[in-house]
């Protein structure tokens, strides 16, 4: 089955359909946030990873040149009217740049949208769970005041359970990726629909893919792809052309968000458990050692021949860890390649040459 046959809807069509049914839209900046909380208020989160290929000159009067292109593009997109159809903007405190953007939107940049912030703790211990639970409750209170809705625990858990089912469907796509018969581009286009489809639509789409046995699978040279986001997406077609298969990923928009169900019967604690359950992430304060062990496990489980670090320029959380990650992998005989990108730029010939050279090393 091809993605053309599945007819993946466009984000704009999803937004229009949801609003036509009386729902509201939240534009959500990277990376971690409580999807189910918004669902309980009939708000659909539409994730904003930039977007790529935007004239970011509109953000230049507010942001330094060394702020990453994801943040620059998000502010430019807002200023040119790209978020006119949304009702809320959520800015998680993922990094200093996004925290700065949140402050700008609250205090300095004129917008008719209600701007929400979410502060993520940098500790997975009990204080971290408690802090995040209170943060989610704070957003619940704000949404209640704005919408006049007060979802009770039963409604919150209805939303939590269907989002957990969607998370389970995403994990199953990952687990069975070799049997799906999808190339790099089609696989990541499929799983990235989790960024904007309502949970029930994502579950239905996933089930339609999982129910079909592929006639053949793509058996390229396996690598692990690590970083924030695979933009421009044409990168994935170029990897396929070179005979490279992304066998696993440590991407912030994808593999780092394979959340597990929580266990608490308090909905706010449950959502906190959910957000803490994903793979190690420097933006959540996970240790360098946990990231090293996780990357090594991805390599061994996927039988990858190496790791490609595909990082957005000026992404401090990623770049701080990078030298030690590469050193640890090299110590285990795992080769790696580092590429830095601006999400507005096309793939350069120099980048393709470097990937081809790396390919010769890992064959």
Q: What was the pLDDT predicted at 214?
A: 64
| CA–CA dist 177, 174 (Å, integer) | 5
Per-residue pLDDT band for 218 (boundaries 50, 70, 90) equals low
| CA–CA dist 191, 170 (Å, integer) | 7
pLDDT above 90: residue 239:
yes
pTM exceeding the 0.85 threshold for the entire prediction: yes
| CA–CA dist 18, 63 (Å, integer) | 33
Per-residue pLDDT band for 18 (boundaries 50, 70, 90) equals very high
DSSP secondary structure of 307-362:
EEEEEETT-HHHHHHHHHHHHHHHHTT--EEEEEE-TTSPPPHHHHHHHHHHHHHH
Which is more confidently placed, 181 or 68? 68
Q: What CATH number is given for 1-363 in this structure?
A: 3.40.50.11900
Q: Summarize the confidence of residues 222-249 as an average pLDDT.
A: 96
| CA–CA dist 362, 303 (Å, integer) | 12
pLDDT above 90: residue 7:
no
Indicate the domain borders of the chain. 1-363
| CA–CA dist 235, 85 (Å, integer) | 30
Which is more confidently placed, 361 or 218? 361
Q: How is residue 206 written in tokens?
A: 């996933």
Q: Summarize the confidence of residues 145-170 as an average pLDDT.
A: 98
Per-residue pLDDT band for 85 (boundaries 50, 70, 90) equals very high
| CA–CA dist 235, 262 (Å, integer) | 35
First vs last C-alpha separation in the chain: 30
pLDDT above 60: residue 2:
no
- The arrangement of strands across the sheet holding 307-312 comes to 244-251, 221-227, 307-312, 336-341
| CA–CA dist 60, 272 (Å, integer) | 35
Q: pLDDT per residue over 172-209, tens digit each? A: 999 999 888 899 999 999 999 999 999 999 999 999 99
Q: pLDDT per residue over 103-144, tens digit each? A: 999 988 888 899 999 999 987 789 999 999 999 999 999 999
| CA–CA dist 159, 286 (Å, integer) | 28
């Amino acid at each position: 089955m091809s993605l053309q046959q599945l007819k993946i809807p466009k984000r704009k069509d999803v937004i229009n359909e949801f609003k036509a049914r009386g729902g509201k839209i939240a534009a959500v900046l990277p990376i971690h946030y409580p999807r189910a909380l918004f669902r309980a208020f009939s708000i659909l989160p539409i994730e904003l990873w930039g977007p790529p290929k935007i004239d970011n000159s509109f953000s230049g009067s507010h942001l330094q040149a060394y702020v990453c292109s994801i943040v620059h593009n998000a502010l430019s997109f807002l200023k040119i009217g790209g978020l006119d159809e949304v009702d809320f903007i959520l800015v998680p405190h993922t990094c200093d740049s996004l925290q700065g953007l949140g402050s700008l939107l609250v205090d300095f940049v004129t917008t008719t949208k209600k701007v929400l912030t979410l502060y993520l703790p940098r500790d997975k211990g009990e204080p971290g769970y408690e802090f995040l639970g209170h943060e989610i409750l704070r957003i619940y209170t704000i949404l209640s005041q704005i919408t006049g809705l007060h979802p009770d625990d039963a409604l919150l858990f209805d939303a939590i359970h269907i989002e957990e089912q969607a998370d389970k469907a995403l994990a199953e796509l990952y687990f069975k990726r070799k049997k799906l018969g999808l190339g790099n581009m089609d696989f990541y286009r499929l799983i990235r629909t989790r960024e904007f489809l309502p949970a029930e639509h994502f579950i239905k789409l996933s089930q339609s893919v999982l129910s079909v046995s592929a006639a053949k699978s793509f058996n390229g040279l396996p690598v692990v792809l690590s970083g924030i986001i695979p933009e421009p997406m044409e990168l994935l077609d170029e990897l396929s052309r070179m005979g490279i298969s992304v066998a696993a990923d440590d991407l912030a928009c994808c593999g780092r968000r394979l959340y597990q169900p929580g266990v608490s019967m308090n909905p706010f604690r449950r959502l906190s458990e959910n957000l803490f359950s994903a793979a190690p992430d420097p933006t959540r304060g996970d240790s360098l050692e946990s990231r090293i062990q996780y990357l090594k496990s991805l390599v061994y489980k996927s039988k990858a021949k190496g790791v490609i670090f595909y990082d957005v320029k000026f992404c401090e959380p990623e770049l701080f860890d990078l030298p030690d990650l590469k050193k640890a992998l090299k110590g285990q005989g795992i080769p790696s390649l580092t590429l830095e990108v601006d999400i507005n730029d096309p793939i350069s010939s120099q980048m393709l040459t470097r990937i081809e050279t790396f390919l010769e090393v890992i064959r």
